[in-house]
Amino acid sequence: EIVMTQFPATLSVSPGERATLSCRASQSVTSNLAWYQQKPGQAPRLLIYDASTRATGIPARFSGSGSGTEFTLTISSLQSEDFALYYCQQYNNWPTFGQGTKVEIK
C-alpha cells in the first residue's frame, strides 16, 4: 500500500493570502495524484487530477504541481469559501488518500 502523508495538518491563513499544502507519497506515483476539497457534511469535490490539471469548474486560483513523491496544492488568494479540508489521493497503484490538511481562518 502506498502511504500518503499530508502536511501541515492545519494551516492558518488570512483571506487573500496564499496557501501552500504538501503531500508526500511513500513511493513514486508518477503524476497519478489528485486533490479534493471537503466541507463539513459534504462529499469531497475533485479539484486537481494528474497532479496539475484543474477539474471542470475549478477556479484558476487553485493549482497543483509535483511528480514522483512530492506534490503541492497552491491556493493563490484564499477566498472565504476555500476554508475547508483538503485531501490528496494517489491512483498509481490501489488508490489511497492522505489524512488531510485543514485550512482555517487566521
Partner 1 sequence: QLQLQESGPGLVKPSETLSLTCTVSGGSISSSTYYWGWIRQSPGKGLEWIGSIYYSGTTYYNPSLKSRVTISVDTSKNQFSLKLSSVTAADTAVYYCARPRDVLGPTLIWGPGTLVTVSS
Judged by CB, which is closer to partner 1: 37, or 69?
Answer: 37
> Least distance from C-beta 5 to partner 1, angstroms?
12
At 15, list the grid cell: 483571506
DSSP, collapsed to helix, strand or coil, labels residue 82 as helix
Query: Toward partner 1, which CB reaches closer, 8 or 15?
Result: 8
Binding residues for partner 1, per CB under 8 A? Answer: 1, 34, 36, 42-46, 49-50, 55, 87, 89, 91, 93-100
Angle 86-90-94 from CA coordinates, rounded to 5°: 130
Q: Which is nearer to partner 1, 48 or 78 (CB)?
A: 48
DSSP state of 39: -
Q: Is 72 exposed, middle or buried (0-12, 13-18, 19+ CB in 10 A)?
A: middle
Nearest to partner 1 of 76, 96 (CB atom): 96
To the nearest whole angstrom, how small is the minimum distance from the Cβ of residue 81 to partner 1? 18
Shortest separation between residue 14's beta carbon and partner 1, angstroms: 28
Task: Return the closest-CA partner of residue 34 out of 44, 42, 26.
Answer: 44
